[in-house]
Chains A and B, each alone.
Chain A
Amino acid sequence: MELGGKLEVGRSRRVALYVTCLVDVMRPSVGFAAIKLLEDAGCEVVVPEHQTCCGQPAYNAGGEAEAKALAKQVVETFEPFDAVVAPSGSCAGMIRDHYPKLLAAEPEWRDRATGLASRTYELTSFLVDVMGMESVEADYQGAVCYHDSCAGLRELNIKQQPRKLLRSVRGVEVREMDDAEVCCGFGGLFCVKYADISNQMVSRKMDNIEASGADTLLAGDLGCLLNMAGKLTRQGSRVKVRHVAEVLAGMTDLPAIGEGEV
Chain B
Amino acid sequence: MQPSCSSFKQQAAQALRDPKLQGAFGKLGDGLQARRAAAVGQLPEFEALREDARRIKRRVMSDLDTWLEQFEQKVLGQGGHIHWASTADDAREAILAICQRVGAKTVTKGKSMVTEELGLNDYLVDQGITPVETDLGEYILQLRREAPSHIVMPAVHLAQDDIERTFVESHPQLPPDRDLSTAESLVAEARQELREHFFKADVGITGANFMIAETGSTVIVTNEGNGDLTQTLARVHVVVTTIERVIPTLEDLSTFLRLLPRSATGQEATAYVTLSSGPKREGDMHGPEEFHVVVLDNGRSELLGSENQDILNCIRCGACMNHCPVYGAVGGHAYGWVYPGPLGAALTPALIGVEKSAALPNASTFCGQCVAVCPVKIPLTDIMRRWRVREHGKKMTSPLARAGLSAWAWLASRPALYRKFTGLAAWGMALCGGRRRRLSRMPLAGGWTRYRDFPAPEGETFHAQLAQLKKRAAKTGAEGLRHEQGGAHE
Contacts and interface: CB of A to CB of B under 8 A. Distances in A.
A24 B463 CA distance: 7
A26 B465 CA distance: 13
Given A14-B486, A28-B462, A44-B482, A62 B447 contact: no
A154 B381 CA distance: 12
B341 to A, nearest CB: 13
Contacts, number: 234
B463 A183 contact: no
A185 interface: yes
A1 interface: no
Contacts of A67: 409
B453 A186 contact: no
Given A60-B366, A192-B448, A17 B12 contact: no
Given A19-B463, A64-B389, A200-B16, A191 B486 contact: no
Contact of B412 (A28, A61, A70, A260): A70
B465 A28 contact: yes
B393 interface: yes
Query: Mostly helix, strand, loop or mixed at chain B's interface?
Result: helix
A193 B367 CA distance: 16
B199 interface: no
Contacts of B490: 49
A195 B447 contact: yes
Contact of A231 (B402, B445, B451, B482): B451
Contacts of A44: 482-483, 485-486
A25 B459 CA distance: 8
Contacts of B489: 46-49
Contacts of B472: none
Interface stretch (A117-125, A210-218, A222-230): A222-230
Interface string B362-406: 111111110110000000001001001111110001000110011
B153 interface: no
A57 interface: yes
Given A24-B463, A48-B489, A66-B406, A230 B329 contact: no
A27 interface: yes
A57 B453 contact: no
A197 B329 contact: yes
Given A46-B486, A61-B405, A194-B363, A154 B438 contact: no
Interface stretch (A106-114, A134-142, A167-175, A250-258): A250-258
A55 B434 CA distance: 30
Given A150-B366, A197-B363, A230-B438, A62 B385 contact: yes
Contact of A262 (B362, B401, B436, B454): B436
**5 residue pairs, one from A and one from B, having the closest CB atoms:** A187-B365, A260-B437, A62-B392, A195-B447, A258-B455
Given A31-B462, A31-B466, A195-B450, 8 more contacts: A52-B415, A61-B397, A62-B392, A191-B447, A191-B448, A197-B16, A200-B16, A230-B452
20 contacts: A23-B462, A25-B422, A25-B425, A25-B461, A27-B458, A32-B465, A47-B463, A47-B489, A63-B392, A69-B413, A183-B365, A183-B367, A190-B365, A195-B446, A197-B16, A198-B365, A199-B451, A230-B438, A260-B433, A261-B436
